[in-house]
Amino acid sequence: MCSLRDDQLITIVIFVRSNNLNNMKNIAVIGSGTMGNGIAHSFAQHGYTVTLIDIADEALKKALATIEKNLSRQVEKGSITEDIKKQTLANITTHTDLKAGVKNVDLVVEAATENTDLKLKIFQELDAATAPHTILATNTSSISITKIAAVTKRADKIIGMHFMNPVPVMKLVEVIRGYNTSDDVTQTIMKLSRSLEKIPVEVNDYPGFIANRILMPMINEAIYSLYEGVAGVEEIDSVMKLGMAHPMGPLQLADFIGLDVCLSILNVLHDGFGNPKYAPCPLLVNMVQAGHKGAKSGSGFYTYVQGSKDLKVSRRFEKQEA
């Protein structure tokens, strides 16, 4: 009987892995905003050929500038070489025409604006424009993968690939199986995520998946605690930072995510489960309606001045001196 040496076994394992992933060489990313540029960056840095697609030419230009800036920071820190930076940029091309951009790709990762009708329309177009073997993934934070899959003729090849912000830094990819996503497609996406040096975690498709189902009620409870006067903004964030070792308090995190985004995810949880425990706090609703959407709008629970890293509680929530 012949037996394999350890080094032969390792070679075979590596070959099988890269052989599987060889089928996944050309990637398209739809949407070049906050998440899209990070997703394109991560794939391109790991040797994939990336087509970055956006309806807005300006957004594409801004995305390339952001990727270049972030790569330069990695070079300065010594985590990549100048050559890898150059190769990463050379691996990315941009397109404003979805149909032309996805023609020869093996995987699409959709990271366009979080809007159900928009995503359903994009997936119908992708289903018609891509080859039958192409896997269609979405980076949605909250929209049902099963609902998206239902507008295509390839429900087995529709999957959630939920990257975290900022993508080149954050390790997690929440891999979400729709009701009809196949085992093969799930395993391919798990392997592919590992090839990006990420850690994939498989979950099923129910409202909020895991990340937001657990995070958003915590943020909502922090907002309720403020609304009911249990404690102030800094006190609530301090308790969670110092007591639970969270790197950022829930109110600051809500500002960073965007209060409008938090509200919309809470509404998805509330509608999806029909359980009043997910009802968004009236203070959150008011703040979004008043245009205080967190860091991106300049104010939320804290105020944000461009170029300044100082964290200052918004005037509205400042403590009155006794």
Ligand X SMILES: NC(=O)c1ccc[n+]([C@@H]2O[C@H](COP(=O)([O-])OP(=O)(O)OC[C@H]3O[C@@H](n4cnc5c(N)ncnc54)[C@H](O)[C@@H]3O)[C@@H](O)[C@H]2O)c1
Applying CB under 6 A, the residues found at the interface with ligand X are: 30-36, 53-56, 59, 98, 111-114, 118, 122, 139-141, 165, 257
Q: How far is the CB of 45 from ligand X (least distance, A)?
A: 18
Cα separation, 266 vs 277, in Å, equals: 10
Q: Which of 26, 174, 234, 292 is catalytic?
A: 174
Q: Phi then psi for 197, rounded to 5 degrees?
A: 65, 30
Number of helices (H), then strands (E), belonging to the chain: the values are 14, 10
56 or 100, CB closer to ligand X?
56
- Asked if 162 is an active-site residue, the reply is yes
Q: How far is the CB of 243 from ligand X (least distance, A)?
A: 25
26 vs 123: CA distance, rounded Å: 18
Taking the complex as a whole, the smallest distance from the CB of residue 269 to ligand X amounts, in Å, to 14
DSSP sequence for 165-234: SSTTT--EEEEEE-TT--HHHHHHHHHHHHHTT-EEEEEE-STTTTHHHHHHHHHHHHHHHHHTTSS-HH
CA dihedral sign of residues 167, 170, 171, 177: negative
- The single residue of 37, 95, 142, 162 carrying the catalytic annotation is 162
Which listed residue (91, 144, 212, 264) is catalytic?
212
Query: Catalytic: 91?
Result: no
Closer CB to ligand X, 54 or 255, in the complex: 54
Nearer Cβ to ligand X (134/140): 140
Nearest residue to ligand X on Cβ basis:
33
User: Is 41 known to be catalytic?
Assistant: no
Active site residues per annotation: 141, 162, 174, 212
